Amino acid sequence: MKDYIEVDEWKIIEQGFNPHHNKISESIFSLGNGRMGQRANFEEAYSGDTLQGNYVAGVYYPDKTRVGWWKNGYPEYFAKVLNAANWIGIDIEIDGEQLDLAKCSITNFWRELNMKEGYLRRSFRAKTASGKLVEVESIRFCSIVDDEAGAIKYTIVPLNFNGEFTITPFIDGDVVNKDSNYDEKFWDEIKKETQADGGYLQMRTKKSGFEVATGMQFKLVIDGKTIKPTAEPIEKEKFIGVKVKVPVAEGEVVTIVKYAANLSSQNYEAADLDANVKATLSRISEKGFETMLAEQAAAWGKKWEMNDIIIEGDASAQQAIRFNIFQLNQTYTGEDDRLNIGPKGFTGEKYGGSTYWDTEAYCVPFYLSTADQKVTRNLLLYRYKQLGKAIENAKLLGFKDGAALYPMVTMDGTECHNEWEITFEEIHRNGAIAFAIFNYVRYTADEAYLADYGLEVLIAIARFWAQRVNWSDDRQQYVMLGVTGPNEYENNVNNNWYTSKIATWCMQYAVEVAEQIKATEPGKYAELIKKINFNEAAEFAKFNDIVEKMYFAHDDKLQIFLQQDGYLDKEQILVKDLPASERPINQKWSWDRILRSCYIKQADVLQGLYFFEDQYDLDTLRRNYDFYEPRTVHESSLSPCVHAIIAAKLGDEARAYEFYLRTARLDLDDYNNDTEDGCHITSMAGTWMAVVEGFGGMRVRDGKLSFQPFLPAKWQSFSFNIGFRGSVLNIKVSKGGVQIKNLLGKETSVLVYDKLQLVKADSEVQVEHN
């Protein structure tokens, strides 16, 4: 755990430069706008330890799978979001000495991510080897108004000398991915052009054939006056730059304003990219930096009006929740149903930047409540459009008759995860896809989605489960063999409770939805049955038989659901009894030792109890929670939020708050020693869930919002906004009670502590704590 980020309710602040923290800070201070993003690399040269990262949404490379032993059914490649051309570069020479923070003496270093207005600011003083002292400030942002563009304002002042600055703004496309399987570079140059004030570089990805044009335009200002010095264009392979030399006097303020744009062939014809990138640069440079920055602040202000969670009395918790919400909004806007939410977003390469089941299990609740309904619908459509590929994935593993297995990792629907225990066995991911459909319809009442898209997906998933189980003559029940549950510290186990639970629920839900659509939309139902060649009587009978006769591991003595067969055969040493020197175990232990241990990476049985809590009484929840949580090492970023929510439901304030802080400050404090690889974007939605579903106790019951809130002892109050079926409500929980404001002109009713409250348009109600 690190503790170098200063606490501020609206800013992430790093004061003083520690090279050992640099890659962590590059992740934490990342920028994005849903269309493109970047790590917080320096504009000037840096020869120290760094992970360079600029990313364009949806652009990927199929990196050939690298494994020691090829197994039938393995994917041919791992889809990787590519490190794209570096557009932020501004090389600075001071009388021939390169400005490089790894080689200069640095003082007054300050790095600040302004979450309220959406920009990154950095300042420092640097002394070169020859003793020349300069003061530098940079401000940059990825525009959410012009979402293919970004801008930088870079100012440098000579403090103790007269001399010459050589300034070279550039675009560098000769980049690598740290995680390349074969140390391969993934881009080919198509064309480039330079002028006195900028240029562009157009590149094409190998194999996948995406083209991206990255352009820049700049101007130079000295003491407030724009100048046009002699410019020297530079062109090398996959590189363009413009070198200008500027004589400077002590105290003169030299500013370079650099505008940049990333345009992709996903959105333009490849042949037109050059013309469009020039037009984009012309348009944003005509606006000017200050106008773009003001527009950025206004646009973020609109986002915060809806998305902000306000915590009074705990600045650390306030900073953390805003950081999580900020990163989520930087990563995904929901405007493009071809895009999804990678676990690292625009903050790093790990996990390939691809889509995982995290989206459906953790991100959907956030976007349902804080964004327009179409945002979550687009997330569902993303999966619907990839149903054909999910059926192909299942075929590769021997399934048939329209069974679908959604990929563990994907960009276009093709499975590209290449570890057998995940690719073949972590099949519970299919359940998350179905649960997201259920969650969306429960929240929005958009029944039309089921008839138009949802039922087709649900039946394909149910078909998979019906083929994946087998009948056990010994038990006289159906069993689920050879799986990996959410706890990835167990592989190839039999009868993982969560997997079996989500499988039977999927089949049951598919039958329920089919009966509903058959009754309400008989024409569409008939068309679907014909399209997918569905034997209604036989297949429904099979689904129902499995639901009725499924085996679930259970211990009668402890009265708990067993994570899998044989779990209690393991040596039951609790996490609290592990020496601190041996944690995290995924960095200290052999894999063999981990697999033989009782330790749980993330919520497994408890994930099922979170999804299906309505089916269990509090005593059942408590017994399972009290058994499994002490054995959970929380070495997945997705773990703390589920534990916080269940603890809150059980009235366990201490553990609810402990896990909230852990999930909220996971990256800010580098809990798992892995933030340098990128932030844990999808788990950040879990932080929102921990507040709203945990402390706020929000659920949907019988078509109405229901709240069971409590106030953490360290807080004076907390409040959040919820959008629900055309209404927007502000919920504030304080020591005086619960206040609900109706922010729109539509009357609505909610449940608070199980009592119905009518909230009229543009009014509020006050409810005492239970």
| Residues tagged active-site | 488
Cis bond upstream, residue 584 (ω within 30): yes
Structure tokens at 728: 């927007």
Tokens of 227: 């100048």
> Residue 2 carries which side chain, given as an amino acid letter?
K
What are the percentages of helix, strand and coil residues in the chain, rounded to 5? 35, 25, 35
State phi, psi for 719 to the nearest 5 degrees: -145, 155
d(CA 511, CA 203) in angstroms, rounded, equals: 49
Q: HSE of 640 in the Cβ direction (CA atoms, 13 Å)?
A: 26
The first and second tokens of residue 692, run together, are 């709203």
CA distance 58 to 205: 12
Give the Cα separation of 136 and 128 in Å (integer): 13
**Of 347, 246, 405, nearest in space to 666 by CA:** 347
Report how far apart, in Å, the C-alpha atoms of 251 and of each of 62, 110, 136, 226, 739 are: 51, 20, 12, 17, 55
Q: Specify the DSSP class assigned to residue 360.
A: I
- Can you tell me the distance from the alpha carbon of 610 to that of 605, in angstroms, rounded to the nearest whole number? 9
Residues in the chain: 770
What is the DSSP annotation of 208-276? T--EEEEEEEEEEEETTEEE---EEEEEETTEEEEEEEEEE-TT--EEEEEEEEEEETTTS-GGGHHHH
Tokens at 346, concatenated: 């625009």
The answer to whether 153 and 40 are in contact (CB under 8 A) is no
Q: How far apart are CA 201 and CA 193, in angstroms?
A: 7
SS3 193: strand
- Short-list 616, 682, 78, 694, CA closest to 356: 682
The pair of structure tokens assigned to 753 is 């502590």
